[in-house]
Amino acid sequence: MNERVFHLKMTLHEPLFHASYEYNTEYLTEAVISNYALAFAFGMAKSQRRIEDAPMRPRYKEDLNTLLEKNIYFFPAVPSSSQAVNYHQERWNVIGEGLRYQMGQGCIVDDLDFLVGGVRARAVNKPQQGYIRYVSRGSLFTSWCVVKNNEHISFPTWIRLGKTMAKTHCEIQEIPCMKKNGSFYFSGGLNSVDVANHSNIDSYDIINIRPAPILKNIRAHGEYLETKEANIPNNVFWNFPT
C-alpha cells in the first residue's frame, strides 16, 4: 500500500504550557509536542476516560487504537528552525489574600474557620506559587503525518495544545514521497517508544520528557520516505508506554 505524507506547520497564537520539567517551584515547557498530544488535538483520538474512573491513568492504547488500525502515524512536532521558538516566564500565586495565614496540611491557608475554629484542613499536595516558562506566541513547529490507507483524511485549520489550550493555526500540505532504502538523516522528532519498529538508528539527540523521551536529529539506515523537505523514517507505528 502506498504511503501518503502530510507536512504539518503549526503557529502558536497563544502561549503554550505543559510541564516538561519541574524544578522546585519552576515549571518549564520544552519546545516539543508529543505525537500523543497531536493525535488528540487533531481530533483523531478520543479519550474514553470518565471523571469517576479510578485510577485516573492515561490510556494511550485504548484512546489511540483507531489510528493504529487505520495506519495513521503522527511524528512529534519540533521547532521549524533554531530561531523558530521563543520562551517567556511568568510568576503565578494562588495563595489567598487574607489578613492571617497559617501552614495547613501541606498548604498555606487563610480561611478564618481553619485559623480560629479548630477545623482541620484537608491534606493538600498542590503547588500554590512558582514560575512557569511558556513557549511564546508566534513560535513555529513542524511535524509529519504518514497515512497508509486510501481513506480521505482531513485536518482542522485550528487546534488547541497543552494545559493552557493554546490556540494554534495549522497549515497542512500533502507532499509527494518516494520509498528508499539506505542511510538518511531526519531532523524531526520521533517517539522513543516507537523506535522498536525502526531499530537501525546510529545516533540521535534526546529530549527526556514524559510519558516517553523524544528523539531528534536522527541518523539511521533502513527504509525511509524521501520528500523535498525531509527524509522520514518509514515503518514506524504506535507503541505505548507501560
What predicted TM-score, i.e. pTM, was given to this entire model? 0.84
pLDDT the model gives residue 116: 54
pLDDT the model gives residue 23: 87
Q: How far apart are the first and last CA of the chain?
A: 30
pLDDT the model gives residue 129: 82
pLDDT the model gives residue 85: 94
Query: What is the torsional sign of CA 198, 65, 208, 38?
Result: positive
Name the CA dihedral angle for 32, 33, 35, 41, rounded to a multiple of 10 degrees. Answer: -170
H/E run at residue 41: helix 35-41
User: What's the grid cell of residue 175?
Assistant: 507532499
Mean pLDDT (10-residue bins), the chain, 242 residues = 90 94 89 94 78 64 85 94 91 75 66 56 70 95 94 93 95 94 93 77 91 92 92 88 66
pLDDT the model gives residue 141: 97
- CB contact set of 58 (below 8 Å; sequence gap of 6+): 211
pLDDT the model gives residue 9: 96
